[in-house]
Amino acid sequence: MSREPVPAFVKAMGHRIVGYILNISETEARRVLSLEYRLSSQQRVTFSSYLELCRHLRDDALSQGDMERSFFQRLPRARQSDTHIFNVWHHQHNGKFIVPNSEDELAYRLCILAAELYPLFLIKTPTKRHMFYRMSGHLSATIVLTPEYKQLCHAFISDPSFERLFEEMSNDPFETLGRYSDSQGHKSVISLASLPAALLLNSYDLMRARGPISQRIFVSTVKEMLDTARGLADGEVAQIPLFVGFRNASLGNLDELATKWGVWRRYSPATAEYVLQTPKAMAKRKSTGFILESGMSYAINVGELVDDDDWPDEVMVAEEERLSTEYNISMCLALCYLDASKSFTAPEWVWTIDPFSLEGGHRLVDSVAETDQPVVIEKSHLDDIEHWSLLLEDTDSTGIRLAFSRLVSAAQFPFATDGLLDAMIAFRNIFAAGNHPERIRDAVTKLLAGETQGALETVDRLEQAWEAVFTGDVWYDKEELNALTQSCINLCLVCLHHLYLKHRELVSDPIRLEKLVTLPENSG
């Protein structure tokens, strides 16, 4: 190929757009940017044209004094015969343009727009963690330029579902507005002009969070997002996509795993790049994490605001259900790998994808520390994982939900007094100790039967620590706190292991301490 140097800012825009316009693989596109791939004569012409376009737009942007903003405002205007130049080049190199087949006028026009704008989503911006798509103002302005824009706006306001979304109608799409509140407590305004951008950018989010990237997948995901948005606009409760990233466990010889709580997926380089912020974390997650895809109950109310008590029950408990799922996954893996690992699996980020949002629902959460020995889930372990998932889901665990949440919290702060306190509260909650913590020792003896070696010594140390914490006479340094907290967490897990396997009927029994103490010898 030509040895024409590739400007650094073009390299920073990423390889995916190069792969698209030349209709080559991502691996080949990376090699093009490093001048290691042999292009055909036609590909060389296209690539040179791409470099020249980028240089020209950058020079114009520099003259305006706001390089990044001006560059991305001008980029969508690079069109030829009402088609973006990136799609023209793609077609010249035998690339396919997805033409949806649908009798649904709105779906057809929105998907045509998605296929037309797809290459713009592939460009990285120099200073943003996300891609071009999150610059929603640029995306809305780009949509206005497309020949389908007027017909698309007409299709939206003619659609029975979206018609009720807009309270204020105008000939100007930017002044055609709808106000709504959602079941998560947010109040928002959406315009006819911003609605297509919201649906497209959230569709791109959903595609990237799942992993595989292509124009065909993007168009299909837009249809899926449109269906969800229609249901919400009609006043229905929808399951919006929910993704949770877990650390300290990974899928060994599995690409994905279907569970009662949703699909667990291995991190790919593309998903790691998209949902994680640091290169260090991106490199590690393939072997130290996995992603859960599930759903979260969600609803909106157009116009008058809804009181909290008026929302459907399923959306009122949606956040609680999400936390319950996360705790169940953490506990499932902790109990399944009790003897093989001391690591604790817990979430590190959560992402909900609302079709109407222009803000993005990705957020980091407090998590446990990284471990050097993460759980590795292999195919040979699937029966055990299914067994523990069924035990956790089919058992009434409301009585020890406090223990679940406190164990995760203790694992987050094992070097602090608060972490030790959380672990000890979890331990007492497991036994519903109440006003009789002195009876826990006897309950542990009965529950663990002949496996009490070391456990009773830990019980005694925890009783001393409890007194020390609440009298203010805490003498532990960080290492001692960590050791005692880890001992308490491990004992909690051992006790839960025996409780679920042998005495599931007692898990949420309010007088389980008394019943455990009175168990016959060797009752397990």
pLDDT of residue 126: 54
CA angle centred on 357, ends 162 and 178, rounded to 5°: 40
**Can you tell me the distance from the alpha carbon of 88 to that of 379, in angstroms, rounded to the nearest whole number?**
46
Q: Quote the CA–CA distance of 469 and 453 in Å, as a whole number.
A: 26
pLDDT for 199 equals 95
Please list the residues that pair with 257 across neighbouring strands: 264
Q: Which long-range contacts (CB under 8 A, 24 or more apart) does 365-370 make?
A: 366/412, 367/247, 367/412, 368/247, 368/248, 368/344, 368/408, 368/411, 368/412, 369/412, 369/414, 370/247, 370/248, 370/284, 370/288
Distance CA 22, CA 19 (A): 5
* d(C-alpha 249, C-alpha 374), whole Å: 5
Closest CA to 153 of 138, 135, 172: 172
Among 35, 58, 123, 125, residue whose Cα is nearest residue 84: 123
The Cα-based distances of 105 to 52, 58, 144, 324 in angstroms read: 38, 38, 18, 41
Residue 497: other Cβ atoms inside 10 A: 18
Asked whether the beta carbons of 351 and 209 are under 8 A apart, the reply is yes
> Which of 76-80's residues contact partners 24+ apart within 8 Å by CB, and which partners?
76/120, 76/138, 76/141, 76/142, 76/145, 77/145, 78/53, 79/145
Residue 279's pLDDT is what?
A: 67
Q: What is the pLDDT of residues 444-498, one digit of tens each?
A: 999 998 777 789 999 999 999 998 888 887 778 899 999 999 999 999 999 999 9
Can you give 451-475 as a three-state secondary structure string? Answer: CCCCHHHHHHHHHHHHHHHHHCCCC
Contacts of 232 (CB under 8 A, 6+ apart): 238, 298, 299, 300, 355, 356
CA 447, distance to chain mean position in Å, is 38
**Secondary structure (3-state) at 19:** helix
C-alpha–C-alpha distance, residues 356 and 302, integer Å: 12
Rounded to two decimals, what is the model's pTM? 0.90
Q: How much is the pLDDT for 192?
A: 93
Q: Are 420 and 469 in contact (CB under 8 A)?
A: yes
Instruction: Tell me the two tokens of residue 504.
Output: 């599931």
Cα 251 from Cα 166, distance rounded (Å): 45
pLDDT in the model for residue 61: 77
Q: Which residues on neighbouring strands pair with residue 265, listed in sequence order?
A: 256, 291
Contact 207, 263 (CB under 8 A): no
The residue extents of the domains of the chain are: 1-97, 395-524
The 10 Å Cβ neighbour count of residue 126 is 11
pLDDT confidence of residue 101? 76
Q: How many CA atoms lie within 13 A of 485 on its CB side?
A: 27
Report, as ranges of residue numbers, the positions in the chain whose pLDDT lies below 50.
Answer: 1, 127-133
> How far, CA to CA in Å, does 308 sit from each of 126, 235, 312?
42, 16, 9
Q: Which amino acid is at 221?
A: T
CA 214 from centre of chain: 20
The CA distance from 223 to 109, in Å, is 11
Burial environment of residue 471 by CB neighbours within 10 A (0 to 12, 13 to 18, 19 or more):
exposed
pLDDT for res 130: 44
Strands (E), 142-237: 177-182, 187-191
Tokens 């077609």 — which residue?
Answer: 91
Q: Alpha-carbon Rg of the chain, whole angstroms?
A: 28
Task: Tell me the C-alpha distance between 409 and 388, whole Å.
Answer: 22
